[in-house]
Amino acid sequence: MPLTRDLCYFKLKEFKHPELVNETAAELLDEIRAQYGRPLVLTDDARLPGDQPPGFSPTSLHYKGQAFDLRSRDLTREEMWLLVRAVLSVAEWVARGAKSGVELEIVSSSTDKHVHIGFFLGDGRKNRIVVRAE
């Protein structure tokens, strides 16, 4: 189902394409925000089929409405640690479900700093973490 309402921590207007966002994935992101305990800035969510940002993957969870990018350039080391802990906590819960998991990607380069969180909802993939840094 698409996202049609405000969540506890994310408002509908914060999403570029709420009509394409998977509601369950958005609720899991909201739970990460609850456990993190601080505001998060959403920079990317669901993508239209023609959206092809640099380095895009045609199999990206963004095209299923199950992935979100968050700004991380302003996070301290301690805040990044708290965010990772929140993602891992939710990932442990999600992984209990059949054939589901969470993808956490931390990107830190001179040109790009963001955290990507994707949800494998019933597609058989399990939790994983990817770090891309210079």
12-49+58-133, CATH topology level:
Aspartate Aminotransferase, domain 1 (3.90.1150)
pLDDT of residue 94: 84
pLDDT (tens, 9 = 90+) of the chain, 134 residues, equals: 899 999 999 999 999 999 999 999 999 999 999 999 999 999 999 998 877 776 667 788 999 999 999 999 999 999 999 999 999 999 988 877 667 899 999 999 888 999 999 999 988 889 999 999 98
Q: Minimal CA–CA distance to 43: which of 19, 76, 75, 67?
A: 67
Distances 42 to 54, 71, 119, 134 between C-alpha atoms, Å? 18, 7, 16, 23
Coil, helix or strand for 57? coil
- Quick one: DSSP state of residue 61? G
Domain boundaries, the chain: 12-49+58-133
- Are the CB atoms for 32 and 116 separated by under 8 Å? no
Coil, helix or strand for 37? coil
